[in-house]
Amino acid sequence: MVEGALYDLLQRCSAEEADAWEDFAARIKTRGRTVLGVFEKLRWADRDDVIASVLQSLAAAVRRGKIRGRSNAEIDAYVCRSLRNQALNFLRGHSRRRRAGESPIDELVSADEAFDSVADDHPSQEAMAIVAEQLARADKLLQSWAPEDRYLFLAKLSGVPAQVVQETLRRQPFRTYLALATIDTRYHRLREQMIRQVREP
């Protein structure tokens, strides 16, 4: 998506164009699967709930003109921050409900510790810059991987079963055979590599 295209999409949403809202929802769901992938304590059903909640709050923010920034990086940073904050709030609430002892929230969060954890409709320029830099590093690493590793990582991150990943890798354009256990092992290795890249100062 070209620079500023997200801003144009938000303007179309503000004008209540139905197809724009569909595009917006699809993008939030895709970004949500990536951002929430590092929350190990969050079940897939919980992630869907978090994404749905964020989508609702972002839609309200768009209509009120509360999302600041004009570049893709600024708006994407706002979206990622909203997803992370909602996930943190969910985990805090879940922890309180369980009453299984006070676990520091830092133990529940994996890769995106550099994000500002205070929920705010107006993220600072510094916070947005940090998020944009993290996303750029993650994307650079992703593009450096072999095509089969990129597919494997994104598919597993999105909840695709290992057997489906295995069958897809056997076909064109990959034509690669991996044992089911190897698929899970490789995913965890790639995930650890991605976490280290995002955490890099």
Report d(CA 189, CA 186) in Å as an integer: 5
Q: What is the pLDDT of residue 73?
A: 81
Is the bond preceding 201 in cis, omega lying within 30 degrees of 0?
Answer: no
Structure tokens at 3: 């620079």
For residue 77, give Cα distances in angstroms to 72, 89, 119, 122, 135. 8, 18, 13, 11, 9
Q: What is the pLDDT of residue 122?
A: 47
Each residue of 39-56: b (16+ CB within 10 Å) or e?
Answer: bebbeeebbeebbebbbe
**CA geometry: angle 38, 42, 45, nearest 5 deg:** 120
Q: What is the pLDDT of residue 59?
A: 87
Q: What is the pLDDT of residue 96?
A: 56
> With 0-12 CB in 10 A as exposed, 13-18 as middle and 19+ as buried, what is 64?
exposed
CB contact set of 192 (below 8 Å; sequence gap of 6+): none
pTM score, two decimals? 0.49
CA 99 to chain centroid, in Å, comes to 28
Q: What is the pLDDT of residue 110?
A: 40
- For residue 106, how many other CB atoms are within 10 A of its CB? 9
For 172, phi then psi, to 5°, come to -65, 145
The pLDDT profile of the chain, 201 residues, written as one tens digit per residue, is 445 788 888 888 888 888 888 888 888 888 888 888 777 777 888 888 888 888 888 888 888 888 877 788 888 888 888 888 888 888 777 655 554 444 443 433 443 443 444 344 445 556 666 777 777 788 888 889 998 998 898 888 878 888 989 999 998 888 899 999 999 999 999 988 888 887 765
